[in-house]
């Protein structure tokens, strides 16, 4: 077995615990692309307001010329809606689920976004060089990762000094409905227990982030953090 085949097999094993793999992934991809529907399902199924997720996508538009954006997990490519055809950036769309990644690649092609590169990888083992990323997006990912702390460390490693991480995730204790839904999911997938708001803040700091801002309401958290150091101009 080659190294590439071994890596592929390992990712397949890890992906078995991914809640967005399989039929739910298809459903999620459908409704998350329709903001009105996502907000409705967010309220009815999870009791949360998804508006912060969609507002935060605007950060994609303000990445400097020649900068790099890392979207992990990219899912079906929701954040691509904020990317313009002529925007001079490098966009790395990363996901461990090949079906989700295929959806993101098709969305990029349909929108004529030639600056998007899709890469299958485990968020806890990103095959990306140190300090090349200006903005990392991580929506709905941390609560789906088998090793969320390692994923944060990898994100911090890839970010340039002064680079930003923005994302959303579910946190404990959440609502009674969330606890019921996550209890069954965690038992089925073997994923670790959700972090509390305080634990998420601490894990971001342990990973190497500063200026951590976190807003949580009814078990749904939006976070923004910065890698310490002065921002540098991206390589031309």
26-32 mean pLDDT: 86
134 located within any domain: yes
Domain assignment present for residue 233? The answer is: no
How far from 99 is each of 20, 26, 33, 81, 103, CA to CA, in Å?
A: 10, 9, 16, 19, 6
Which residue range is the domain that position 112 belongs to? 3-226
**Structural domain includes residue 232:** no
Domains held by the chain: number: 1
Mean pLDDT, the chain, as a whole number? 89
Per-residue pLDDT reduced to its tens digit, 52-86: 899 999 999 999 999 999 999 999 999 999 999 99
Whole-number pLDDT of residue 35? 92
Check residue 23 and give its pLDDT.
76
- Position 26 in a domain: yes
The answer to whether residues 123 and 141 touch, using CB atoms and an 8 Å cutoff, is yes
Task: Output the pLDDT for position 17.
Answer: 65
The CATH code of the domain that includes 193 is 3.40.50.150
Give pLDDT, residue 6. 58
- Please report whether residue 207 resides in a domain: yes
Residue 22: pLDDT above 80?
A: no
Is residue 18 situated within a structural domain? yes
Instruction: Enter the tokens of residue 177.
Output: 């409905």
Residue 234 falls within a domain, yes or no?
Answer: no
> What's the pLDDT score for residue 12?
63
Confidence of residue 236 (pLDDT cuts 50, 70, 90): very low
As a whole number, mean pLDDT of residues 165-179 equals: 92
Indicate whether 235 belongs to any domain: no
Give the residue-averaged pLDDT of 191-205. 95
């Amino acid at each position: 077995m080659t190294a590439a085949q071994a890596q592929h097999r390992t990712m397949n094993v890890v992906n078995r615990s991914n809640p967005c793999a399989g039929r739910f992934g298809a459903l999620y991809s459908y409704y998350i692309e329709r903001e009105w529907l996502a907000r409705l399902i967010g309220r009815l199924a999870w009791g949360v307001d998804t508006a912060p997720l969609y507002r935060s996508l605007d950060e994609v538009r303000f990445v400097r010329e020649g900068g790099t954006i890392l979207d992990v997990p990219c899912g079906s490519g929701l954040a691509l809606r904020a990317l313009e055809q002529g925007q001079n950036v490098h966009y790395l769309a990363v996901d461990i689920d090949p079906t989700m990644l295929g959806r993101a690649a098709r969305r990029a092609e349909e929108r004529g976004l030639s600056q998007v590169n899709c890469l299958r990888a485990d968020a806890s083992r990103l095959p990306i060089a140190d300090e090349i990323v200006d903005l990392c997006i991580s929506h709905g990912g941390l609560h789906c990762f088998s090793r969320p702390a390692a994923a944060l460390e990898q994100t911090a490693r890839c970010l340039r000094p002064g680079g930003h991480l923005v994302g959303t995730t579910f946190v404990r204790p959440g609502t009674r409905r969330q606890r019921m839904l996550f209890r069954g999911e965690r038992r089925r997938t073997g994923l670790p227990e959700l972090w509390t708001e305080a634990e998420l803040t601490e894990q971001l700091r342990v990973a190497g982030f500063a200026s951590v801002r976190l807003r949580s309401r009814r078990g749904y958290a939006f976070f923004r953090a910065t890698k310490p150091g002065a921002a540098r101009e991206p390589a031309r």
